[in-house]
Amino acid sequence: MQSYLQVIMTRLVVCSVFLFGATSGIFSQELYEEADRAFERRGYFEASSDYVAAYGKVKSDLELKAYCAFQAGECFRLMHNPVGATEWYDKALGLRYAKTNPRIYLLYGDALRDQEDFYSAMEWYEKFGNAGDRSLADARIEAADIAALALDEPPSRFIVEPMITVNSPSYDFAPVYASKKSNVLVFASSRESSAGTGEDPITGESFMDLFTTTQDKKGRWSEPEPLGNTISTPDNEGAASFDKKFKTIYFTRCVDQDGSNLACDIYWAPVMGRQFGASQPLFLVDRETDDSTQIGHPAISLDGNYMVFASDLPGGAGGKDLWFSSFNDDNDTWGVPQNLGDEINTSGDEMFPTFRANGSLYFSSNGHNGLGGFDLYYAEAREGVMAFSEVKSLPYPLNSSGDELGIIYKGQTNSGIFASNRKGGKGQDDLYEFKLPPMEFCYKAYVYDNDTGMPVSGATITLESSEGEVNSYTADADGAVELCDGEIEEGVSYDVNVKNDGFIGTGDRFSSIGLTESTTFAREYFMKEIILEKEYDMPLVLYPLGSAELLVNEEINSTDSLSYLVDLLQRNENLVIQLEAHTDSRGTNSSNKSLSQRRAETCVNFLVEQGIAIDRLVPVGHGEDKLIISDAEIAKLPESERENAHQVNRRTVFKIIRFDYVPTEE
């Protein structure tokens, strides 16, 4: 499948031309000079036919034959036809062209990658690494591996669908919304109804024009029509943008003069209802002294003060860079172009910039490591003049192994349109709509009796969201509550309280904040029956030897253990508990009694500091009166186990002594 990336910027591609200057004199000049001339002026469609013809004519000069095959492959690569590229690279490899130019390994790998044959591509990248640039080869291998995994396990939930009624068998790309409601679309196309009468030497198709289509209330797009004759001319037009009020259109035009394309420039025209006024060039360079610099693909910032565009202006990072110009309100002119810097730009090509409603800059690039060819990237706006954060790539399936050629978002939503030449399209480049469907969250709770394991029917489960919404549900006969019909929202956290008469209330928390996949929150709650004067276990609370201070070290945090009681008492506002501290039998009975009382009081003081009312807490120190393991039993144990036995006796527990407490209203 071919892809026409730059027909409206005829020279916005860096060409890798490998000519045999030192040996060209020995070749039959008439066999390839016409192809070379077409290639040098970027007439890849024309040059491909000439190289193929020259390849067929050459019989004995295998070096020239290999060169013609490679150059034919280059033409197909630059026309973004990876199938044709691999066919002719393969012929060149068979004639040992890699000895002359080992870069063919890299290019062959790229062509295979663009056909989603990632593992074969990695083998050719490895050959290039052994014969050429190891770091570049490793970067390509890593990117191909990531791309292969992305196809097997898509890393995002985006849904992508081709715009079948809008696309044509020709090139359709560079979409831009042309209305505040995002229901009018403008895009570039070389379809048969294009006003361009010439045959583009790059693609062999008609020159590009700008077309428009409108979406009705049912979401259907109308048959695309060319923009007015002030915009669509016999020359190449494409890659448009509008100001924030949709009062002015900016677009790219490459003028054709006697069959020779001149440098591309940005033009503008006023929007007059459904028509456009006369278009005028917006010269960002002096064309009297510079007739070769390519400028196009305009994008207007949200405040209208800046224009970002693609160009091969001198002083860039290489290839085509993104530049910007500032608008001067005093004289209604655009200022001297400035490069967006190497955070955005690479030695490859950066093109098709657009702005999202949040100020982020989106663009296409083949210089940042992606899934293949041109991928879509974005950089969030940060403080400063045209300042942006780190560049990030969009996930599959927005990006693919093919070329993605500009993306637009519908307002603040995660939906919009982009262009791509990926597999399965209708033509060369096609337009695709995308959307991010809402995630589905479920909450499934099951309540059981902690001692019997039986379901607790009739239990009340209350969910309080971080948005302040409170809803209560009753467990069915199986002790279950299931919420799957939108009750659990995206980006919200929930506090859960589970209550039932005669049981200690319990609960927990869960959150959908930051999740990127639909999720079911499954919970089991084991409720303990309220039995007065029963000793309930709690997380371990320890103290330093002979001290009533809470022990906190790398192994234990007694304050965290007491937080269990804080949570329990906050969930059960009717409970009054007795905190009981026990010591082991070492030391005197009176000293142990005093120490345990102080320890119980320490726990009470901690709970009070956490907001628990003091009249709900009764501290009791038992000393060594209620040993779990007697001294006689400990004496029979191996010496290595005795300290652990003493630790069992040194414990802090609680009892429920009342469950009729009524909180005091503040």
pLDDT at residue 200, as a whole number: 60
Q: Where are the domains of the chain?
A: 24-152, 159-435, 441-527, 535-658
- For the domain made up of 24-152, give the CATH fold: 1.25.40
Residue ranges in the chain whose pLDDT is less than 70: 1-31, 193-206, 257-262, 665-666
Q: What does DSSP assign to residue 111?
A: H
Structural tokens at position 310: 């693609």
Whether the CB-CB separation of 172 and 406 falls below 8 Å is answered with no
Q: Does domain 441-527 have CATH number 2.60.40.10?
A: yes
- For the domain made up of 159-435, give the CATH fold: Neuraminidase (2.120.10)
Across 360-440, the runs of DSSP E, i.e. the strands, are 361-365, 375-379, 381-382, 387-388, 392-393, 404-409, 416-420, 430-435
Q: Collect all residues with Cβ–Cβ distance below 8 Å to 360 and sequence separation of at least 6.
A: 378, 379, 380, 381, 388
Task: Report DSSP letters for 27-82, one per residue.
Answer: S-HHHHHHHHHHHHTT-HHHHHHHHHHHHHH--S-HHHHHHHHHHHHHHHHHTT-H
CA distance 43 to 6: 12
Considering the domain delimited by 535-658, tell me its CATH architecture: 2-Layer Sandwich (3.30)
CA distance 343 to 338: 14
CA distance 158 to 231: 34
Number of neighbours of residue 620 by Cβ within 10 angstroms? 17
**pLDDT digits 0-9 by tens, 462-493:** 999 999 999 999 999 999 999 999 899 999 99
Cα–Cα distances in angstroms (integers) from residue 541 to residues 618, 628, 634, in the given order: 17, 16, 22
pLDDT at residue 198, as a whole number: 57
Whether the CB-CB separation of 475 and 501 falls below 8 Å is answered with no
pLDDT at residue 660, as a whole number: 92
Inter-axis angle of helices 589-609 and 558-571, nearest 10:
60
pLDDT at residue 261, as a whole number: 56
Q: Residue 294 pairs with which residues in a beta bridge?
A: none
